[in-house]
Amino acid sequence: MELETKYRIIHNGEKAFGKGPCLLLEKVDKLGSLNKAAGELNMSYSKAWSIINKAEKMFGETLLETHTGGTDGGGSYLTPKAKELIKAYKGFCKEADEVLDELYKKYFRGI
């Protein structure tokens, strides 16, 4: 037996941020492209774009900046707000998992 947890941030009952959007942003940060990030996650570009777009609307902040052309052919990069958001979510999840692991032992020991 083990505990499975899920944490998501909602706004007016709608999902604003969670594991999926966080992973997508991390991939964009690593690959420098929303299209490549979507591809690595087996997700369509339009799906990836809508996840980012929805989170941006919820937070009222730009998360992704896109530049086109140039010698590198353009790409997307994260805004400082997006990096802050990833850091907060990952920090939260790590500490939450640790605390809940202890609580799980406390309540379910012997069951």
Rounded CA separation 76/51 (Å): 15
Closer by beta carbon to its own copies, 38 or else 63: 63
- For its own copies (CB under 8 A), the number of binding residues is 32
- The nearer residue to its own copies, 65 or 98, going by C-beta atoms, is 98
3-state secondary structure at position 103: helix
66 binds its own copies (CB under 8 A): no
88 touches its own copies by CB under 8 A: yes
What is the three-state SS of 34-77?
HHHHHHHCCCCHHHHHHHHHHHHHHHCCCCEEEEECCCCCEEEE
Q: Is 79 helix (H, G, I), strand (E, B) or coil?
A: coil
Is residue 92 at the binding interface for its own copies, with CB under 8 A as the rule?
Answer: yes
Q: Is 74 in the site for its own copies (CB under 8 A)?
A: no
Give the binding site for its own copies (CB under 8 A): 1-11, 15-16, 58-59, 81, 84-85, 88-89, 91-92, 95-96, 99-100, 103-104, 106-108, 111
